[in-house]
A = this chain, B = another copy of it.
Amino acid sequence: MGLTKSEIFTKEQNQIALIAKVLGHPARIAILDYLIRLKSCVCGDLVKQIGLAQPTISQHLKELKKVGIIKGTIEGTSVCYCINQENWDTIKSMLNKFLNKNTTDNCC
């Protein structure tokens, strides 16, 4: 069916999975890596930097924007994309909360 049964999971589980899913592509990790290193950025640079076609990059940027990790502000003919620091911090603490649930040893 290819259709995730979101309704049987908790809100938190769905949120974490949604974020992880967006981070689950090397192009999007590469885009974030690049944005994190810079203070600002335009899509044109990303096309050269990442090495995928412009529509593909645009699509990945859309995904990242959808969950609020990045934001784009129109700057003349081009668009300045950057990390949405506030949201990114929220997302990071959500992920950290999940990652730090497990502290002690398990069985086996």
Given contacts A13-B33, A107-B39, A108-B71, whether A23 and B20 have CB atoms under 8 Å apart is yes
Please name all residues of chain B whose beta carbon is closer than 8 Å to the beta carbon of A95 when the two chains form the complex. Answer: 95, 99
Please name all residues of chain B whose beta carbon is closer than 8 Å to the beta carbon of A14 when the two chains form the complex. Answer: 26
Count identical subunits in the complex. Answer: 2
CA of A22 to CA of B88, assembled, Å: 21
Please name all residues of chain B whose beta carbon is closer than 8 Å to the beta carbon of A101 when the two chains form the complex. Answer: 33, 36
Give 22 pairs: A residue, B residue, CB < 8 Å, sorted on A: A4-B25, A4-B26, A5-B27, A8-B51, A9-B26, A9-B29, A9-B30, A13-B26, A13-B29, A13-B33, A17-B23, A17-B24, A22-B24, A23-B24, A33-B101, A39-B107, A40-B107, A73-B108, A80-B107, A88-B102, A95-B99, A96-B99
